[in-house]
Each structure stands twice: as C-alpha cells, then as structure tokens.
C-alpha cells in the first residue's frame, strides 16, 4: 500500500474514531493533526439557518399570481348604474347647452326695454319683467316665455304664442299686453284678435278694445278705451284705477316700500304719475286723495 493511501486510510479511521492504539500512536507520530483539528473545531460551530417551508411556498404563490394579468368582470347591475350616471351627465350637459341657445331679456327696477325679435316684431318690457325665446327656431315657431308685464307688437306671420306661469296667449298679427302678478293676470288687446287660455281649461277670444282679468282661475272680461300701454312714455297714466293697483305699478319704478291701510285700498285714482321723481310721484297720488304720508328709512308711512 502506498504511503499516501495509508495516510488517507488512517485519517479516515481517526475521523470515525476507529483507530487502534498502535495506529493512533503512528498517526500522532508521523502526521501533523493540529491544523486538521482546528478546521474541524470551526466546522462544528457552523449553524444552518432554519428554513420555513410554508412561508416560502406562500411567497412563491403570491409572486406567481402577481405576474398573471387578471380580467375584472363588472356585474350587470353595476354596468347599468354606470350607464345611468353617464346618461344623466350627458342630459345635464345638453340641457345647459340648449338652454344657452335661448335669448333672455330682463329688466331691473325702474327699467324699461324695447326688444326686437328676428322677424321685426317688438316686445316692450316694463320694470322687473323678462322674456325668453329661441332665436334659431324663430322662423319655425314664434314662442315666447314671459314674466312681469310686457307689451307686444306682432307682425303678421306664423302663430305667435306667449306663455306665462298661468296663461297662454296666441295671435297671428296684433298688439296686446300681458301683465302677470301674484294676484292676477291681465291681457289687453289693442289691435287684432287674441286667444287667451289658462291651465284650468278656460279660454276667451279678445278683440280690439277688450281685456280679460284672471283671478283665481276666473275670467272677467271688459272693455277698455286704452289704445296702448300707459307706461310706455315718461309718465304713468291712470283712469279710475284702484289705489292698490296704482301703488303696485309705482313700486316697479322706485326702491321704496309701503303698506297701504285697508281704508284707502278701495279709493280710485285718475291722473299721471312721474316715473323718475319719487317726491313728485307720491304727491301726485296722495295729495288729490287727501292722504297724509311721510317717507322714513325707505318706507312710505301713512298717518
């Protein structure tokens, strides 16, 4: 046996602890075992880190699932709700867009405006009044929405319809006035023929020199000598008008408040009233009727 093979065999027996007394003496005498013992002592101190099999398996599954793209399936009810929201948003947009295509004319306190429609017809707006109509559709349908008090001069053509909160007025070519307040609606025909109908189903045909006052859905017709609205000029004109009605008109032109006592409400007034001078207006109304009054802090106070 060669010396190298003999050496390896002895070292193997030494490591396994199978050396005889003679072999142990020989290996100790013939070979340096100090370095080998140092290495063996160091190896015995090595520790292997514990391996968590379950945790590593879970981590592997998570990595695998994250790398595969998923497809989200939206339930039908959810899709229906989304479609409803989109439809509502589109409807609001279209409503606002179409509403912007309308022409709107408004008057403030004490202001009057003369407005001409695309066909040459004219609307005169009293203070605190408004009209709304569609310019693009005017050649097809002459429809106007209004509030307050408006005098119309309508050229002949297709039907001309005026709609307020309470009534519809339809004409072909004429001059008429519509005045609407919280208490009543009044329509006067100055020329031609006017058809007046209400949401309650009542209707009436007015001819030149006639008028209708609608109060609590009741139609009250009468004659009038007026040939045009009394408020178109520089002054307001009244003929045997109830004082309460006169004061309602006055408040459209002046930033003033008043509460007429009941004992004066049934009085009637005839005359002209200034539209731009409050002191003159009040004097022209109350002095002839012998009513004592004073103005305090924006209020007309009666004695």
Residue 38, CA atoms < 13 Å, CB-side half-sphere:
4
Comparing 247 with 75, which gets the higher pLDDT? 247
Comparing 233 with 125, which gets the higher pLDDT? 125
Task: Check residue 281 and give its pLDDT.
Answer: 95
Q: Give yes or no for residue 24 having a pLDDT over 90.
A: no
Quick one: pLDDT band at residue 190, thresholds 50, 70, 90? very high
Q: Residue 237 is encoded by which pair of tokens?
A: 């004109």
In terms of average pLDDT, the best of 18-22, 72-76, 87-91, 272-276 is 272-276
According to CATH, what is the number of the domain 102-223?
A: 2.60.120.1440
DSSP annotation string for 137-178: TTTT-EEEEEESEEEEEEPSSS-EEEE-SSEEEEESSEEEEE
Name the DSSP letter for residue 174.
E
CB 192 within 8 A of CB 173: yes
Helix (H) or strand (E) holding 41, with range, is: helix 34-44
Q: Residue 296 is encoded by which pair of tokens?
A: 């305090």
The predicted model scores a pTM of 0.64
Mean pLDDT of the chain: 83
Q: Domain limits of the chain?
A: 1-46, 102-223, 235-302
Quick one: pLDDT band at residue 193, thresholds 50, 70, 90? very high
Q: What is the mean pLDDT of residues 133-138?
A: 94
CA dihedral 86, 91, 96, 98 (to 10 degrees): 130
Task: Check residue 188 and give its pLDDT.
Answer: 96
Q: Give yes or no for residue 275 having a pLDDT over 80.
A: yes
Q: Which long-range contacts (CB under 8 A, 24 or more apart) does 200-209 make?
A: 206/176
Q: What is the mean pLDDT of residues 120-126?
A: 97
> Which residue is associated with the tokens 């009727």?
289
- Tell me which fold the domain 235-302 belongs to: Phage tail protein beta-alpha-beta fold (3.55.50)
Q: Residue 160 is encoded by which pair of tokens?
A: 């001309």
């Amino acid at each position: 046996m060669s010396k190298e093979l003999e050496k390896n065999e002895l070292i193997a027996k030494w490591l396994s602890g199978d050396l005889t007394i003679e072999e142990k003496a020989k290996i100790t005498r013939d070979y340096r075992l100090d370095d080998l013992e140092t290495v063996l002592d160091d190896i015995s101190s090595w520790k292997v880190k514990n391996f968590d099999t379950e945790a590593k398996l879970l981590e592997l599954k998570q990595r695998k699932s994250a790398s595969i793209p998923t497809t989200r399936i939206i339930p039908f009810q959810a899709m229906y709700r989304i479609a409803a929201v989109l439809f509502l948003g589109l409807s609001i947009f279209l409503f606002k867009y179409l509403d912007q295509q309308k022409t709107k004319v408004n008057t403030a306190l004490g202001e009057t405006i003369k407005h001409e429609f695309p066909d040459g017809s004219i609307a005169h707006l009293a203070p605190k009044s408004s009209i709304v109509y569609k310019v693009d559709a005017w050649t097809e349908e002459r429809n106007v929405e209004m509030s307050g008090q408006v005098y119309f001069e309508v050229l002949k053509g297709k039907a001309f319809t005026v709609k307020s909160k309470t009534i519809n007025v339809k004409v072909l070519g004429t001059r008429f006035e519509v005045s609407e307040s919280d208490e009543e609606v009044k329509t006067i025909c100055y020329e031609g023929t006017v058809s007046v109908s209400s949401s309650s189903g009542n209707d009436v045909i007015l001819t030149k020199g006639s008028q209708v006052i609608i109060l609590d859905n009741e139609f009250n017709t009468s004659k009038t000598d007026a040939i045009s609205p009394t408020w178109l000029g520089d002054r307001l004109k009244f003929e045997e008008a109830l004082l309460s009605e006169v004061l309602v008109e006055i408040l459209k032109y002046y930033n003033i408040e008043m509460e007429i006592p009941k004992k004066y409400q049934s009085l009637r007034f005839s005359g002209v009233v200034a539209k731009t001078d409050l002191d003159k207006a009040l004097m022209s109304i109350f002095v002839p009727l012998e009513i004592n009054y004073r103005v305090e802090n924006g209020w007309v106070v009666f004695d």
